[in-house]
Amino acid sequence: MKKKNFKLTVVALLAFAAVSILAFSCATIDRVVVAPPMIAGAKYVGMETCQPCHEKEVRDFKFAAHARVTIPDNKNGKREGQGCESCHGPGSLHVEAGGERGKFIINPSKNPEACYQCHLDKQAEFNLPYHHPVREGRMNCTTCHNPHGHDIKLGKGQTVARLNENCSQCHREQTRPHVFEHAALREGCTTCHSVHGSINPKMLVQRDNNLCLKCHNQIGSSPNFPATTVRPIRIGAAEHNIGGRLAQGTCYNAGCHTAVHGSNLSASFRY
């Protein structure tokens, strides 16, 4: 029995080591663009050529995750494009044109197709019924993300919670401080919202009371209910019978807890 346990331990340790090595290699290996952006007649010139005009972007970009994206030459495996040109396309014509703004260069801030070459999952989410209006052209990926910086998320310091800073740029009413704060906001807006797109209205991760009950699942222990009876869910001081309040609609749309982001008047977020 001891010998068998020893073998299982060894196998588990080897499996852990293999997973660790794989995770490390995936974290450090360069990422390859599936379909690199192309500009007819242009050739790759290297990021150093971009630096004289775009000094700040190049300086910050060296520490960005996007700096690891490379475009290999299919003929001999040599890296043809890396850095700026992996998203903006080969820059020789742009350089020859004197760096004229928007000429012979791909601008992902106006066309998200360049981002979709790597972020296929986000493209799919933007095609869901409820999504941020990137597809409609009313915003773009760079509205929320800084592709050149070491921190990919934009933050303006408007809120205490780091995860909410992106959202507070547009959704100031929802993210501003309240007298009675909803503790879920400390975890970030993504606790309840799928930020790129969702099948649910308001881009919620779930559409019914299960969204709220993920956190508010306290079970009542009232002596009025025998042990053989299914007890109602107790949230705060109120019992929420499954056949009663919880059947009247979602917690936030049934006329009860309408101020889900926080309230200045009601500790139970009723208004």
- Is pLDDT of 205 > 90? yes
Residue 81, token pair as written in the block? 């494009």
Q: How confident is the model at residue 256 (pLDDT cuts 50, 70, 90)?
A: confident
Helix, strand, or coil (residue 245)? helix
- DSSP line for 172-218: HHHHS--SEE-THHHH-GGGTB-SSEESSGGGBS-SSTHHHHTT--P
pLDDT tens figures, 93-151: 999 999 888 888 888 888 888 888 888 899 999 999 999 999 999 999 988 888 888 77
Residues near 123 by beta carbon (within 8 Å), at least 6 away in sequence: 112, 116
Distances from the Cα of 105 to the Cα of 16, 70, 100, 102, 137, angstroms: 45, 17, 9, 6, 19
Question: Global pTM?
Answer: 0.72
pLDDT at 23: 38
Mean pLDDT of 248-271: 86
Residue 201 scores a pLDDT above 50 = yes
Q: Can you give the pLDDT at residue 234?
A: 65
Give the largest Cα separation in the chain, rounded.
83
